[in-house]
Amino acid sequence: MEKAKQQQKPFSWVRIKNQVWGVLSNPFNVIVFISLVTLFCLIIIPLFTMVRDTFTVAKAELRQMPGASIGDMTLFYWKYLFATVLGTSVFLPALGRSLMIGFFVTIISMPLGALLAWLMVRSDIPGKKILSMLIIVPYMIPSWCKSLAWLSLFRNQTAGNLGLLAGMGIPVPDWLAYGPIAIILVMSLHYYAFAYIMVSGSLRSINSELEEMGEIQGANKVQILKSITLPLVMPALLSAAIMTISKSIGSYGVAASLGQFTGYQVLSTLLKYFLNGTPQRVGYVISILLIIMASGTIIANQKLIGVRKSYATIGGKGTRSNPMRIGWAKWPLLAFLVIFLFAAMVMPMFALVMESFQLRTGAGYGANNLTLYAWIGVWENRPLPFLAYDGLLKNADFMGALWNTVKLSLIASIITAFCGQFLGYISTRGRGKWYGQLTEQMVFLPYLMPGVAFGAIYFAMFSQPRLGGFIPSLYGTFTLIVLVSVVKHFPFASRSGTASMMQISPELEEAAEIAGASFWRRIGSIVIPLSKSGFVSGLMLAFISITKELDLIAVLMTPTNRTLPYLAFEYSKNMPQGADAIAIVILLFILLCYTVANLFGADVSKSM
């Protein structure tokens, strides 16, 4: 009844005029409108376009469909994948492998990450301070660098160039060097970070008095861990498991480089296979499946854990945390930590660096096998006939890719960070209002999509002119790479933007409004000065993430807009030293960036 009373107002032109003017004269409304439209065009429309394309006939398939014309409705592409021998013979194995990889990566990285987290947060293991700094380093190494390192250790005759072990005369079978085991181990050494970061966050919020209470009641350490600590971190562990499954199913770079020599296809590599071949739109279908699988797990997680999550912080009042004494067990655990760091950090770095200086890979480190060719060699004077490229510093490809990478990272991260603050502003000021929620939901979508599937969406959208030529084909342009990088990083950037906008109470702006400051003046003298540090740290993390990105842009690469990660991937096929050298350049660059970002107070764990 009260609702009705609000609306019962006689029609009046003056009121309509004032209402319209009230909406239009407020720049905030205009901005909200513009950003909703932009988000819609950059996220919803491309997704929708790709989905629609899987149901319509493309020119390439006309011959196979007598009587059809371009743009007709068809189930051809879906049937191709699910109901033809050509399709199912590649699709079903790839699906099975992706699921299997997701499963085993989770099984391995959950206990690994959780154990590391517990050791670092709750135990009295010696050297904790330095160890906890080192433990996060493996995560900073891009996953494709780790697969390069794996190859440099395990490559055998199948790949042409031998790896370290094969070179020492140890026979390395294909099933170890390439394929599922390699992929699972490399991914586990990367995705342990989800469990590590989430569980250590959860452990930190648990008051150690809860555990001490158990001790007073007479429980031993194992009982305490099992019946007090574990249930409390369970929600965090489950979330991490879901993230790990979702990420490892969608991951492209590792599977591609470790599967390339034996033709081991998983869903993400099959996606690229179809995009580069025919029928192209089958690739779109796979992309949709990947999105459904990845987002399904994440959404299910939010629905299931959402409610229970809250109790992870119960008793989180006290930050007092007395480490638990683990006695003699500290030595085997310390040994375990050292082995982990060796396998995940020292060994890959060592293998990459050393191999980049080798003339023949796998031929030892004798003086006659050491060279700077991969760095400064010139192809005309190559010492061995099969060396395929100039050394990096003399190599136009490398210089081009370096320039592309720097340009892309700079431009895209600035745009990303700016948009992130902006979107964060709209979602915080619109909290509880329809436009705030809509913004948050749209911005969240790219998070649910694996990088390679998101790349495929942009491939589908922009590989041909749209709107009757109003939007030209952007395939192969630098603009497209920037666009896809920016939009894919929206979720992360707007989360950091939201965090920094939450610090600025709306009353600070209202006080300025009453003082007579216009909207833009308020943004200029209140919002921007107060969100500066959030902007800088968001910028740095986006910069690093875009620099090392491979999955997202893999399907959009053309020779002129290649970036360093993609070039390394290309080189890894037949010139591993060159690939290693590129990886080293990127690693040094990233470590430098992280160090700088840390000085500015950015939280590395937020860049996941």
Question: Which residues in this chain contact other proteins in the complex, by CB under 8 A?
Answer: 2-3, 5-6, 9, 12, 14-16, 18-19, 22, 505, 507-508, 510-517, 521, 525-526, 529-530
State the minimum distance, in angstroms, from the CB of residue 17 to other proteins.
Answer: 8
Residues 531/421, Cβ–Cβ less than 8 Å: yes
- Range list of H helices, 206-266: 208-216, 221-224, 230-250, 253-259
Give the whole-angstrom CA distance, residue 117 versus residue 337. Answer: 11
Residues 113/139, Cβ–Cβ less than 8 Å: no
Comparing CB distances to other proteins, the nearer of 3 and 63 is 3
State the minimum distance, in angstroms, from the CB of residue 26 to other proteins.
Answer: 10
On the CB side of 551, CA atoms within 13 Å amount to: 25
Comparing CB distances to other proteins, the nearer of 363 and 530 is 530
State the minimum distance, in angstroms, from the CB of residue 277 to other proteins.
Answer: 54
358 burial (CB, 10 Å; 0-12 / 13-18 / 19+) is buried
State the minimum distance, in angstroms, from the CB of residue 507 to other proteins.
Answer: 4
CA of residue 329 relative to chain centroid, distance: 36
State the minimum distance, in angstroms, from the CB of residue 482 to other proteins.
Answer: 32
State the minimum distance, in angstroms, from the CB of residue 249 to other proteins.
Answer: 41
Q: In degrees rounded to 5, what are phi and psi of residue 466? A: -120, 165
Six-digit token string for 540: 């740095």
- Range list of H helices, 309-395: 330-341, 347-356, 373-376
Residues 121/200, Cβ–Cβ less than 8 Å: yes
Q: Which of 161, 269, 148, 158 is nearest to 574 (CA)?
A: 161
Six-digit token string for 244: 């790990």
User: Between vectors from CA 340 to CA 337 and to CA 344, what angle results, nearest 5°?
Assistant: 145
To 10 degrees, what angle do helices 143-154 and 576-599 make?
Answer: 140
Comparing CB distances to other proteins, the nearer of 9 and 303 is 9
Q: Please name the amino acid found at residue 436.
A: G
Q: Which of 347, 301, 361 is nearest to 185 (CA)?
A: 347
State the minimum distance, in angstroms, from the CB of residue 137 to other proteins.
Answer: 35
DSSP 385: T
State the minimum distance, in angstroms, from the CB of residue 506 to other proteins.
Answer: 9
Comparing CB distances to other proteins, the nearer of 62 and 517 is 517
State the minimum distance, in angstroms, from the CB of residue 442 to other proteins.
Answer: 23
Comparing CB distances to other proteins, the nearer of 519 and 571 is 519
Comparing CB distances to other proteins, the nearer of 510 and 603 is 510
Comparing CB distances to other proteins, the nearer of 126 and 601 is 601
Comparing CB distances to other proteins, the nearer of 173 and 529 is 529
State the minimum distance, in angstroms, from the CB of residue 514 to other proteins.
Answer: 5
Comparing CB distances to other proteins, the nearer of 10 and 66 is 10
Comparing CB distances to other proteins, the nearer of 3 and 129 is 3
User: Between vectors from CA 488 to CA 468 and to CA 448, what angle results, nearest 5°?
Assistant: 105
Q: In degrees rounded to 5, what are phi and psi of residue 321? A: -145, 105
Give the whole-angstrom CA distance, residue 469 versus residue 402. Answer: 32
